[in-house]
Amino acid sequence: MTWRAEHRGAGAPRAVTSLQNPTVKFIRSLEMRKVRRETDLFVAEGASILVMARDNGWHPSTLVFHSGTRMTPVHRQLVEWAANSEAEILEVSEAVLAKIASKENPQNMLAVFAQRWQELPHPSEVSENDLWLALAEVRDPGNLGTIIRTADAVGASGVILVGSCCDPYAREAVRATMGSIFSVPLVRTDCARFLGWRREWRGDVIGTHLGAKEDFRSVRYRGPTLLLMGSEGPGLSEELTRSCTRLVKIPMAGGLDSLNLAIATALALYQIRGPYLKL
Ligand SMILES: C[S@@+](CC[C@H](N)C(=O)[O-])C[C@H]1O[C@@H](n2cnc3c(N)ncnc32)[C@H](O)[C@@H]1O
């Protein structure tokens, strides 16, 4: 007997085998940034990521699982959470799942959520020990997801996306966050607004820059700290570079001209937050 057959009634899963089902087609369309922007929705895949969503107080609008899933207690709890959230619940065939799950590392369960965006924090809300991370024109969703995950790991207060960045709610980015997309506050802003807001910032604004003369390990970071990272391509613009109180560099021994953005961000975050982190 399938899970659906055992649980009839309100909030019960509905069997779907047709690729033409409107919800199935809609979930597939959420792969397009344009549709995510218009609907403010996104897809997260995999039971462990969905557990993070639930534990952080999120509620899905739709939950989909493969009819062949071996339902563990965690899967059952997730279906119950979706039912309590009044989500549409679909128990789908393999062919339907293949159409909507990601091609790399497909998962048996996925859900649709409303995106959450926050405003730039008011200066009075920022405390001495806070670390905010600002990313200028980040392009690669895998880098962005990894950075959100690392920001979560060091207890950063949030991530500010400055200018035309890639979408943190793209599937690749969501997957790379490993669930931190549900716990790290995200802000999006254009450069002019960011620069206006930054003028009220009381602590250090640290820019990581390849032309910097200071070693990132020898700086005493004065909180609250705003860490500013440049894009994968051109790095920090002159305007943003000028807005920093200090510029730091991560030394490199080889003949490379730079580190990968996510790696450089992780090193800088750990350097700044290291003293606060305990095993
Ligand atoms: C791939 S790098 C961009 C390289 C770009 N060609 C440039 O000139 O900045 C992306 C971002 O990571 C940071 N970054 C990478 N390697 C770094 C290093 N060794 N020291 C300081 N920041 C670094 C900077 O914020 C940089 O803008």
The mean pLDDT value for 259-267 works out to: 98
Q: pLDDT band at 55, cuts 50/70/90?
A: very high
**SS3 state of residue 7:** coil
pLDDT at 94: 94
The mean pLDDT value for 126-150 works out to: 97
Name residues contacting ligand 1 (CB within 6 A).
208-210, 229-230, 232, 234-236, 249-250, 252, 258-259, 261, 264
- pLDDT of 137 > 90? The answer is yes
pLDDT at 9: 46
The mean pLDDT value for 157-182 works out to: 97
Determine the residue of 217, 252, 258 to mutate for testing ligand 1's pocket, defined as the one with the most ligand atoms within 8 A of the Cβ atom. 258
Question: Measured in angstroms, how far is the CA atom of residue 174 from the centroid of ligand 1?
Answer: 23
CB 228 within 8 A of CB 240: yes
The mean pLDDT value for 179-201 works out to: 97
pLDDT at 102: 86
- pLDDT of 129 > 50? The answer is yes
Determine the residue of 231, 259, 270 to mutate for testing ligand 1's pocket, defined as the one with the most ligand atoms within 8 A of the Cβ atom. 259
- pLDDT of 10 > 90? The answer is no
Q: Return the residue whose CA atom lies nearest to atom 7 of ligand 1.
A: 235
Q: pLDDT band at 35, cuts 50/70/90?
A: very high
- Spatial strand order of the sheet with 131-136 comes to 186-189, 158-162, 131-136, 225-229, 205-208, 246-249, 214-215
- The larger pLDDT score, comparing residue 6 to residue 263, is at 263
Q: 117 vs 73, 80, 114, 215, 261, CA distance in Å? A: 32, 27, 10, 34, 23
- Spatial strand order of the sheet with 109-114 comes to 14-16, 88-92, 62-66, 109-114, 41-45
Q: Which ligand 1 atom is the nearest neighbour of the CA of 261?
A: 12
pLDDT at 103: 82
What interhelical angle do 261-273 and 141-153 show, nearest 10? 10
Helix, strand, coil percent values for the chain (each to nearest 5)? 35, 20, 45
Question: Measured in angstroms, how far is the CA atom of residue 279 from the centroid of ligand 1?
Answer: 29
Q: Which ligand 1 atom is the nearest neighbour of the CA of 207?
A: 25
Q: Return the residue whose CA atom lies nearest to atom 21 of ligand 1.
A: 249
Q: Which ligand 1 atom is the nearest neighbour of the CA of 260?
A: 1
The mean pLDDT value for 21-36 works out to: 97
Q: pLDDT band at 8, cuts 50/70/90?
A: very low
Q: Return the residue whose CA atom lies nearest to atom 8 of ligand 1.
A: 235
Q: pLDDT band at 123, cuts 50/70/90?
A: confident
Q: Tell me, what amino acid is at 129?
A: N
pLDDT at 175: 96
Q: Return the residue whose CA atom lies nearest to atom 1 of ligand 1.
A: 232
Which of these ranges, 2-16, 17-31, 143-157, 175-189, has the smallest mean pLDDT? Answer: 2-16
Distance CA 120, CA 137 (A): 17
Element (H, E) at 225: strand 225-229
- pLDDT of 57 > 90? The answer is yes
Question: Measured in angstroms, how far is the CA atom of residue 275 from the centroid of ligand 1?
Answer: 24
Q: pLDDT band at 1, cuts 50/70/90?
A: very low
CB 107 within 8 A of CB 46: yes
Element (H, E) at 208: strand 205-208
pLDDT at 104: 78
Q: Give the model confidence (pLDDT) of 74-87 as tens digits.
A: 999 999 999 999 99
pLDDT at 273: 95
Q: Tell me, what amino acid is at 23?
A: T
CB 240 within 8 A of CB 138: no
Determine the residue of 208, 240, 247 to mutate for testing ligand 1's pocket, defined as the one with the most ligand atoms within 8 A of the Cβ atom. 208
Question: Measured in angstroms, how far is the CA atom of residue 147 from the centroid of ligand 1?
Answer: 14
pLDDT at 82: 97
Distance CA 12, CA 77 (A): 13
Distance CA 162, CA 103 (A): 30
Percent of the chain whose pLDDT exceeds 70: 96
Q: Return the residue whose CA atom lies nearest to atom 15 of ligand 1.
A: 259
- pLDDT of 4 > 70? The answer is no
The mean pLDDT value of the chain amounts to 94
